[in-house]
Each structure stands twice: as structure tokens, then as C-alpha cells.
């Protein structure tokens, strides 16, 4: 997985978080498969098509916090992740 301080777009802008579709019990094989990029300041009450219950790994960038909910529309239990 990339280090939290390494989350950058190809043009050099900061990325707040990356969610990955594939996971593994072996750390060196985590953070694989399709990637969902979360930009700083993004407010997404619904997961994009094809991502519901799919994310298995995530990395949150430095100085960012990612809050997720157990149900769509920001309902249910929430959990916060940081770098």
C-alpha cells in the first residue's frame, strides 16, 4: 500500500484517500484491484456504482479524515479513518 504522505494524483495534486477492491491476508498483496479516489473536501453520500460493499482496503492521506457509514445516504453507524 502507498504511504499516506504519498497519495498524489499524476498531476501532483493531493488525494485524501484511496479505496481498493482487492485485499489479501498478505500485506504486500493488499491495495490491489480497482481503485476509488477520494479528493480532499469530497462529500459523497452514496458509493459510486459498483462499489457498494466492495472496498476491502483503504489508505487515508496525511491531514485527511475519511468517514464512512454502514448504510447509504449517511445513515447507520459511522466510522472515521485517518492516516
Q: What is the pTM of this model?
A: 0.84
The pLDDT score that the predictor gives to residue 45 is 86
Q: In this model, does residue 27 exceed pLDDT 80?
A: no
Per-residue burial over 24-39, b if 16 or more Cβ lie within 10 Å, else e, is eeeeeebbeeeebebe
Q: In this model, does residue 28 exceed pLDDT 80?
A: no
Per-residue burial over 56-68, b if 16 or more Cβ lie within 10 Å, else e, is ebbbbbeebebeb
Residue 56 pLDDT grade (very low, low, confident, very high; cuts 50, 70, 90): confident
Give the span between the Cα atoms of 81 and 60, in whole angstroms. Answer: 7
Give the residue with greater pLDDT, 53 vs 59.
Answer: 59
Amino acid at each position: 500500500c502507498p504511504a499516506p504522505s504519498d497519495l498524489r494524483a499524476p498531476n501532483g495534486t493531493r488525494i485524501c484517500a484511496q479505496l481498493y477492491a482487492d485485499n489479501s491476508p498478505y500485506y504486500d498483496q493488499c491495495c490491489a484491484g480497482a481503485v476509488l479516489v477520494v479528493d480532499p473536501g469530497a462529500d459523497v453520500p452514496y458509493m459510486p456504482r459498483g462499489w457498494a460493499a466492495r472496498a476491502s482496503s483503504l489508505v487515508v492521506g496525511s491531514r485527511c479524515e475519511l468517514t464512512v457509514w454502514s448504510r447509504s445516504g449517511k445513515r447507520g453507524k459511522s466510522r472515521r479513518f485517518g492516516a
